[in-house]
């Protein structure tokens, strides 16, 4: 296993997790990578670690380029275990190395590991460290998505190493976006944003503004998960998408999420879908029985209308619907228009629990809609009108 050069004397020395199918409770059907980068300069610098069980792969790639005794710095942009898991082993191999991180990063490393004897250089927002021909500048991005999160910018190479920013859970033979299936990777980038960074859109927007204020000239973004964005066009593409997602801009489409027991709620979902189609509004429909929650959430960033349908069970939300609503509440997407609907046997009003979450998130809503048993044609006509009310919201 060898390191792969991504810029002159800068190498990818990460690991590929082909078998990863789940991360933080969301599906990762394309696996993932844990990207680490070795900068060969007067002071050899390693940026980020990998997950603990892939440390041997990282070690072999580093050994193909240098001896561990020559590593001067290890930059820890983020202490979450998929990036820091290999750090204790790396520090045993390179005890002379100084860890560059921020104060929150130091605290997190000490909370996770035995850090006795480790040397640190603690940086703050905008600080720089010279490693020879290159200067590393650091941008702290707290709560994007941990308190310790930060990004490293290599000025001379116009290279941004943003750790969890701009990544995707995607694993393939490719290392660069330009060599991979475009639509698949863009979908995985949107899924990554929706399932991990959604609660932190304010911080994401602030990070973009901060990067702009620092006048960073970037022609490559090398994240810690997935593929590398290279060239101005690709950099502008992913920065533009993050800007839209962070601001809540959408394409005016609708997403219908539901579960069903005997087909009543499904009939309502199909009726709603027909209303959007007749109005010329793009619409996606997902049954929780057959679709992963994370797959559905990936469709949310560019959606304007969200409809959630529930078949009442034991006077409560149906378990898969309850789970989805809980997941949605944690991610807290903003700026949507919502309609809760469903069916019941003997107790109406359970869909108000969904409505309350919509209201908590600050969404625009119309009155929830539920019907006893199987909806007949007249009920479906009334439901169509409710969906049209949603579309008419300004």
**What are the residue numbers of the active site?**
24, 78, 80, 82, 145, 164, 192, 225
Q: Is 152 left (phi over 0), alpha (psi -120 to 50) or beta?
A: beta
CB atoms < 10 A from the CB of 212, how many? Answer: 11
CA–CA distance, 205 with 217 (Å, rounded to integer): 18
Q: Quick one: CA dihedral 290, 190, 55, 77, positive or negative? A: negative
Q: Which residue has the tokens 């995607």?
A: 170
HSE-CB of 394 using CA atoms within 13 angstroms? 0
Q: Please state the φ and ψ torsions of residue 255, each to the nearest 5 degrees.
A: -125, 125
């Amino acid at each position: 296993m060898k390191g792969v050069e991504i810029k002159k004397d800068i190498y990818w020395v990460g690991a590929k997790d082909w078998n990863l199918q789940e991360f933080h409770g969301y599906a990762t059907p394309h696996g993932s990578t844990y990207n680490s980068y070795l900068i060969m300069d007067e002071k050899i610098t390693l940026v980020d670690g990998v997950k603990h069980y892939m440390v041997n792969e990282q070690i072999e790639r580093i050994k193909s380029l240098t001896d561990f005794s020559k590593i001067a710095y290890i930059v820890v942009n983020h202490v979450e275990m998929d990036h820091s898991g290999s750090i204790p082993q790396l520090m045993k191999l390179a005890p002379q190395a100084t860890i560059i991180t921020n104060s929150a990063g130091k605290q997190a490393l000490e909370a996770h590991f035995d850090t006795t004897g480790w040397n640190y250089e603690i940086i703050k927002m905008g600080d720089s460290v010279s490693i020879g021909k290159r200067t590393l500048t650091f941008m702290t991005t707290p709560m994007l998505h941990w308190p310790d999160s930060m990004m490293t910018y290599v000025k001379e190479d116009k290279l941004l190493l943003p750790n969890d920013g701009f990544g995707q859970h995607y694993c393939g033979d490719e290392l660069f976006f330009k060599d991979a299936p475009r639509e698949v990777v863009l979908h995985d980038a949107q899924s990554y944003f929706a399932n991990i960074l959604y609660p932190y859109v304010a911080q994401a927007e602030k990070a973009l503004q901060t990067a702009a204020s620092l006048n960073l000239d970037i022609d490559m973004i090398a994240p810690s998960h997935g593929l590398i964005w290279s060239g101005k066009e690709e950099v502008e593409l992913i920065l533009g998408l993050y800007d839209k997602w962070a601001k809540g801009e959408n394409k005016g489409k609708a997403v219908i999420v539901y579960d069903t027991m005997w087909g009543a709620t499904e009939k309502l979902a199909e009726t709603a879908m027909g209303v959007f189609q007749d109005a010329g509004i793009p619409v996606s429909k997902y049954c929780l029985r057959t679709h992963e929650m994370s797959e559905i959430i990936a469709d949310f960033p560019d959606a304007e209308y969200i409809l959630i349908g529930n078949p009442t069970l034991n006077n409560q939300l149906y378990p898969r619907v309850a789970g989805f609503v809980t997941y949605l509440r944690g991610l807290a997407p903003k700026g949507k228009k919502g309609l809760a609907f469903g069916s019941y046997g003997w107790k109406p009003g359970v869909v108000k629990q969904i409505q309350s979450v919509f209201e908590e998130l600050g969404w625009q809503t119309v009155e929830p809609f539920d019907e006893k048993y199987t909806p007949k044609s007249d009920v479906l006509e009334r439901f169509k009108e409710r969906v049209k009310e949603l579309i008419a919201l300004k």
